[in-house]
Copies of this chain bind each other. A is one copy, B any other.
Amino acid sequence: MNRVYIIGIGLIGGSIALDIKSKNKQAKIFGIDTDDSHLVKALELNLIDEKASYEDLKNADLVVLAIPVDKAVIELPKVLDAISETTLVIDVGSTKNPVCKAVDNHQMRRNFLATHPIAGTEFSGPKAAVHGLFQKKTNIICEVEKTSFKLQEKALQLFSDLGMRIRYMNPEAHDKHIAYVSHLSHISSFMLGKTVIEKEKNERDIFDMAGSGFESTVRLAKSSPAMWTPIFKQNKENVIETLDEYIANLKQFKSLMESDDFDEIFNEMQSTNHIKDILNGIA
């Protein structure tokens, strides 16, 4: 796969470009982005070799669609219209059901593989791209059976080159589970940041008293609203369900405090400590 087109040359698209370049010296990376300043930056940082447009996609071996999920459902059908029979197209969005539905009846559906690499940082844009971002991370693949066997193989080789392990899941299950382990974390972090900022008008107090605990809990509140708003919109039902459960747990914790039931508060925390063992599995 020597002719690689990255649509959306930000944190994820740019990091994939870097890893492909370092693994395959023959690869030529073309960048497509609605934000011309991203393309300029990506050229400067050597993430891409050339700018390109949709008309060139017929020459692509691989197209990586790495744009916000609301844009992906619109652009993916156009990409599939533009490619050749042998082109593999992957997306990397954090929701999978809408993008799969958007091309379910497309005549080129077998050229597309729906993926979600569980990797990233709270930063965005081409200058956030880093080498080795995907090393030892999980890539979730949806509806694998709808992709041609030959292109599945090519995709698996790519993910193996990036150092990823693979899990297969249907798009509905993906969107439901990811709401808990990713989308809810972002909202809890954003709302924690909001609550503290609102209260601490005098920011010196935060600055002086905040420790590493606050810093790690609120880290995701630095994330890009342009990326996350459409994710919450597309995964609305699942995210609302997680919020309902999260709010109910917080209310229960508060009512335990109000009734001075600190034995039960101890128990709640102790049973949640079990998250240690689960997280030890991540690494």
A residues in contact (CB < 8 Å) with B: 118-122, 137-138, 140, 167, 177-178, 180-182, 184-200, 203, 205-223, 225-226, 228-230, 232-233, 236, 239-240, 242-247, 249-251, 253-254, 257-258, 260, 262, 265-276, 278-279, 281-283
Contact = CB atoms under 8 A, between A and B. Distances in A.
A245 to B, nearest CB: 5
25 contacts: A120-B212, A167-B208, A178-B209, A180-B195, A180-B200, A181-B200, A182-B210, A184-B195, A185-B218, A186-B213, A187-B250, A188-B192, A190-B268, A190-B269, A197-B272, A207-B282, A217-B219, A218-B275, A223-B269, A223-B273, A229-B266, A233-B262, A240-B257, A240-B258, A243-B253
A206 B228 CA distance: 21
Contact of A199 (B188, B199, B245, B283): B245
A109 B272 CA distance: 39
B281 A211 contact: no
Contacts of A118: 209-211
How many subunits of this chain does the assembly comprise? Answer: 2
A196 B211 contact: no
Given A221-B273, A245-B198, A246-B192, A214 B181 contact: yes
Contacts of A122: 213
A66 to B, nearest CB: 16
B257 A246 contact: no
A217 B185 contact: yes
B211 A182 contact: yes
